[in-house]
């Protein structure tokens, strides 16, 4: 008889999920706990295991379709004679991370769709690779390590421009496939679809104001170079982005309203969170993801460097959970990693401000009445004008800029 498996609630507050990829087809024999499908819920993807063994009778939706929690995901004939049974929440959910955890290894190698495409492009069979990600998941790094080295096709910034992240920071390079789609209509789906919905909501609901500055980064660059030579865990991972994140967390502690947001439709309340949780905008093969560094104001430079390196690497390998991507109270976006200078970033829904940083490059700047070429760092603060007026935006931005201009402040606490 058919066993009806309904889409479970696999994330706090989520109402639906997109079918990314079916691992089975009608007529296939499946084992209990075998991975059936990959679903995407607000940027985090999960493999859902089968609650029973049997034969697939029907799939509830095609790839790219969104299902609401409780709708039929799949029907499986489990060979019993009893009347049809239903399952909607028979998955193992670990803690508050909402990680879908199969109880046994699946027959199909675990990998994100972007990793599968990468392996296909490089002519590799995922079944031949050993996954180093959580639960044996194959990451993009695993694929690259198994591939035959080939000449890089990346674009290299000019010598006069130093992106805020350098090669050893594991930043993505501009690839030949960036910005490419065949002529025709394409369904807005996956991470791109989620980004589109979130940005449309943010732009429609939040009246943005932006304040900009460009600071002399001479001491910042010297500070980074010196501190990376220290014999301490995390020292070699410290980048300008790390320093900016610590400076932002310090300023948020001084000005908690900037860490808050407006809530309600129509807006009817101000929420000031009890923690400072930084979102770090990260470019990945799947699209823009924003993993969260929790309680960022409690982290020193070294711990912050480790946290950013670990979470952004997980974002690019597709190994983040829903919990890793939710709960940010303030976002830092680094468009300077690819050479950008100024931008007007959009504030994510549920936040009150966003800090954007451009590329560090030599530019003319006045020093003691003389125009000199110095490394400068462009900084932009975007703020929700319902919550943050121009005076607060300027004071907050100045607090960040002061710490970046003299980064020794960041070693003094307070």
Distance CA 176, CA 8 (A): 39
Which residue has 């300008």 as its token pair? 240
Fold match flag (109-151 vs 190-411): no
**Which residue numbers are catalytic?**
385
CATH architecture of 109-151: Irregular (4.10)
Distance CA 410, CA 403 (A): 7
Q: Where is pLDDT greater, at 280 or 174?
A: 280
Fold of 190-411: Chloramphenicol Acetyltransferase (3.30.559)
Strands 278-280 and 292-293: antiparallel
What are 273-323's pLDDT values in tens digits? Answer: 999 999 999 988 778 889 999 999 999 999 999 999 999 998 888 788 878
3-state secondary structure (DSSP) of residue 13: coil
What are 121-163's pLDDT values in tens digits? Answer: 677 777 788 887 655 778 777 887 887 554 433 333 333 444 4
Sequence-distant (6+) residues with CB within 8 A of 412 are: none
Which residue has 């002061």 as its token pair? 402
**What's the CATH number of domain 2-105, 3.30.420.10, 2.40.50.100, 2.40.50.140, 3.60.70.12?**
2.40.50.100
Q: Where is pLDDT greater, at 260 or 103?
A: 260
- Give the pTM: 0.70
Q: What are phi and psi of 63, to 5 degrees?
A: -60, 140
Domain ranges of the chain: 2-105, 109-151, 190-411
What are 175-196's pLDDT values in tens digits? Answer: 546 677 788 888 887 778 888 8
């Amino acid at each position: 008889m058919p066993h009806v498996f309904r889409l479970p609630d696999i994330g706090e507050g989520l109402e639906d999920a997109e079918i990314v990829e079916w691992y089975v087809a009608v007529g296939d024999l499946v084992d209990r706990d075998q991975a059936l499908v990959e679903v995407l819920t607000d940027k985090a993807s999960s493999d859902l295991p089968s609650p029973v063994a049997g034969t697939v009778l029907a799939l509830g939706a095609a790839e790219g379709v969104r299902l609401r929690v409780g709708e039929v995901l799949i029907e499986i004939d489990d060979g019993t004679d009893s009347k049809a049974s239903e399952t909607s929440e028979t998955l193992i959910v670990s803690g508050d991370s909402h990680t879908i955890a199969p109880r046994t290894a699946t027959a199909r190698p675990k990998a994100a769709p972007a990793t599968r495409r990468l392996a296909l492009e490089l002519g590799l069979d995922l079944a031949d690779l050993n996954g180093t990600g959580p639960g044996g998941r194959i990451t993009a790094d695993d694929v690259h390590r198994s591939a035959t080295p080939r000449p890089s096709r990346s674009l290299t910034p000019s010598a006069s421009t130093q992106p805020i992240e350098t090669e050893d920071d594991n930043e993505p390079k501009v690839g030949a496939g960036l910005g490419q789609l065949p002529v025709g209509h394409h369904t807005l789906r996956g991470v791109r679809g989620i980004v589109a919905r979130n940005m449309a909501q943010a732009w429609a609901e939040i009246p943005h104001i932006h304040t900009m500055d460009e600071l002399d980064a001479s001491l910042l660059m010297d500070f980074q170079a010196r501190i990376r030579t220290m014999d301490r865990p995390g020292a070699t991972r410290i980048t300008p982005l790390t320093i900016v994140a610590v400076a932002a967390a310090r300023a948020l502690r001084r000005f908690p309203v900037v860490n808050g947001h407006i809530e309600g439709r129509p807006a009817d309340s101000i929420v000031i969170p009890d923690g400072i949780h930084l979102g770090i905008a990260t470019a990945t093969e799947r699209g823009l993801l924003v993993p969260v560094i929790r309680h960022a104001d409690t982290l020193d430079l070294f711990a912050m460097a480790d946290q950013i390196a670990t979470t952004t690497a997980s974002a690019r390998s597709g190994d983040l959970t829903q919990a890793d991507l939710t709960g940010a109270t303030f976002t830092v976006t680094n468009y300077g990693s690819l050479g950008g200078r100024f931008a007007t970033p959009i504030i994510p829904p549920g936040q009150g401000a966003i800090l954007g940083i451009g590329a560090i490059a030599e530019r003319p700047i006045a020093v003691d009445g003389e125009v000199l070429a110095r490394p400068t760092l462009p900084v932009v603060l975007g703020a929700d004008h319902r919550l943050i007026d121009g005076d607060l935006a300027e004071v907050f931005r100045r607090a960040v800029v002061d710490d970046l201009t003299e980064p020794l402040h960041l070693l003094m606490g307070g």
